[in-house]
Amino acid sequence: MPKALHISGRCRRGWLTSVLLLAVAASGVATASVPNPTISEPPVGLRGHALWDSWWDLSEVGYEEHEFFVSGTASDTARAQTAPYTTRIIVTRPSDPERFNGAVLLDWVNVTAQFENAVDTVEARQYLLREGWAYVHVSAQAAGICCAGPFTPKLWDPVRYEALSHPGDAFAFNIFSQVAQAIRSPQGIDPLGGLPGPRTLIAAGQSQSASRLDSYVRSEQPQAGVIDAFLIHGGGSKDHGEAGPAAPVLHLLSDLEANTSVPTSDTNYRLWEIAGSAHSDFWIGYAQVAGQGPRWATGLKRSKTDADALDAVAGNYGEQLHPMLATCIVAGAAFPMRYAVNAALDHLLAWVDPSDPVAPPTGPRFEFAAGTLARDQHGNALGGIRLPPIDVPAARYVSTSCGLGGITVPFTEAELLALYPTHDAYYEQIVARTADAVEAGYLLPEDSADLLARACAMRNRWLEAARSCS
């Protein structure tokens, strides 16, 4: 494997911590227009743990989780109304302050299914843990609290969550701002447990949550100013006027969101269109079904060994056969969008570095034919940011076949042999494209190692005996 792909993340973490600690005045000041809410601890309840906490023991990697209730009075500026609220957050943070890199991801969790799905936290979990981020599951919307079914807090544990009360989504923007204020400049209980500041806050949301964050950037961010940057993933508009958004935005889109509209500004705005990706993918679906599902049902928390075994399956990019590659929406779409999410967050953090901000690259655009997304001879998308599995394909990514999901059709052995006579021929090509993706900034070095390990293990598809790759 080329040496260029073996860059350690530890140097980057230390550098980020150093520059952030020099910037207290720049990023640690509360914004007076946003009230600071009251933070409290929930009762134990019937279940004894938070709904949608980690299904495996994070203490094994030096992290801890805490659920808090957040209470205050939220405003709906559009209708000049206010209302009391109590919502909840789940904070995942390093146990050792020395590991904290100063960055906090606020995940506006998705409620499209009428229960909460922390998509970008799930996508980026490996990156967040290895780089020392804290991350926060924010129950910003009413559907995440109650009452579509047993997957919502107030029905899952009515004792623990009796106090939760959401006045409606018209108040969600201001609630989200108040959560950010409580993280940035806590009064009373500190949700981050005293981790050193300043705290760089990056908000992320996928699909419906992306559309909410897109609106937040336009209507709330100019006055609130408590969030430093935004990852808007799988929703939102490219039109921010000539001036651009009020804070840095990285707009991350899949094949499903492909359209010919053109960004109106490159000020505070970068567009990444990821060829081959679906709106929702196998990594998310498999983790929720095989990981979070049993935790919800039984309350049992498993080990890091279990998590590693699940990740080994969930990270499939179509190189290995698996029955759930054909399960539309629940899993199915295996193109590794998580790599792009990780790189996007890493770039956003560099973009808001107060000492030396570096903006992300602008990604190449999707290609279109007669107004629709163009596809190659395999049926895979053309144009866009092309991570190695799309340019050195081992599968057909039917990325828009069922709306929110998609399916993956691994190439047959005959198809693989026609493209790559030997596994070495395949591996040589994917190594070259991986190096290109790292150099371009669309793939992190640590993720390149994961990708190449999977590509190496694919030797079985050529019916060759397992051996190391070079």
Whole-angstrom distance, CA of residue 6 vs CA of residue 25? 35
CA angle (129 as vertex; 127, 130 as ends), nearest 5: 65
What pLDDT shows up at residue 28?
Answer: 40
Asked whether residue 296 carries a pLDDT value surpassing 50, the answer given is: yes
In a domain, residue 451? The reply is: no
In a domain, residue 262? The reply is: yes
In a domain, residue 470? The reply is: no
What pLDDT shows up at residue 379?
Answer: 96
Q: 87, 108, 121, 95: which is closest to 192 by C-alpha?
A: 95
What confidence category does residue 32 fall into, taking pLDDT thresholds of 50, 70 and 90? low
Asked whether residue 238 carries a pLDDT value surpassing 70, the answer given is: yes
In a domain, residue 241? The reply is: yes
3-state secondary structure 327-339: CCCCCCCCCCHHH
Whole-angstrom distance, CA of residue 27 vs CA of residue 354? 8
3-class secondary-structure state, position 249: strand
DSSP 8-state code for residue 292: I
Could you give the residue ranges of the DSSP H alpha helices within 322-444? Answer: 337-351, 388-391, 413-419, 423-440
- C-alpha torsion 366→360→345→26, nearest 10: -150
Whole-angstrom distance, CA of residue 375 vs CA of residue 382? 5
Q: How far apart are the first and last CA of the chain?
A: 5
Q: 404, 412, 338, 408: which is closest to 379 by C-alpha?
A: 408
Which tokens is 201 given?
């806050």
In a domain, residue 101? The reply is: yes
What pLDDT shows up at residue 329?
Answer: 82
Which tokens is 195 given?
């981790």
What pLDDT shows up at residue 54?
Answer: 97
What pLDDT shows up at residue 30?
Answer: 53
Q: Specify the DSSP element, H or E, that contains 113.
A: none
Whole-angstrom distance, CA of residue 440 vs CA of residue 434? 10
What pLDDT shows up at residue 31?
Answer: 66
In a domain, residue 25? The reply is: yes
Burial of 442 (0-12, 13-18, 19+ CB in 10 A): buried
What pLDDT shows up at residue 149?
Answer: 83
Structural domain that includes position 171: 3-281+338-351
Q: Specify the DSSP element, H or E, that contains 409.
A: strand 407-410
Q: Are 116 and 140 in contact (CB under 8 A)?
A: no
CATH of the domain at 106: 3.40.50.1820
Which tokens is 164 given?
């939760």
For 208-219, write each residue's pLDDT tens digit: 999 999 999 999
Whole-angstrom distance, CA of residue 82 vs CA of residue 13? 41
Which tokens is 221 given?
């961010």
The chain-wide mean pLDDT, for the chain, equals 92
With a pLDDT cut of 90, the percent of the chain lying above it is 86
What pLDDT shows up at residue 338?
Answer: 98
Whole-angstrom distance, CA of residue 133 vs CA of residue 280? 24
In a domain, residue 410? The reply is: no
Mean pLDDT confidence for 412-416: 96
Least confident of 15-29, 120-134, 406-420: 15-29
What pLDDT shows up at residue 9?
Answer: 42
Asked whether residue 5 carries a pLDDT value surpassing 50, the answer given is: no
3-class secondary-structure state, position 137: strand
Q: 316, 202, 200: which is closest to 252 by C-alpha?
A: 202
According to DSSP, the β-strands at 134-138 and 229-233 are: unpaired
- Using alpha carbons, list the distances in angstroms from residue 301 to 58, 129, 209: 10, 18, 28
Where does residue 125 fall: left (phi above 0), alpha (psi -120 to 50 degrees), or beta otherwise? alpha
Greater pLDDT, 328 or 32? 328
Q: 111, 134, 112: which is closest to 121 by C-alpha?
A: 134
Question: Structurally, how many domains does the chain consist of?
Answer: 1
In a domain, residue 417? The reply is: no
Mean pLDDT confidence for 440-465: 96
Greater pLDDT, 6 or 115? 115
Which tokens is 438 given?
């790292």
| Amino acid found at 146 | C
What pLDDT shows up at residue 330?
Answer: 85
Whole-angstrom distance, CA of residue 88 vs CA of residue 111? 14
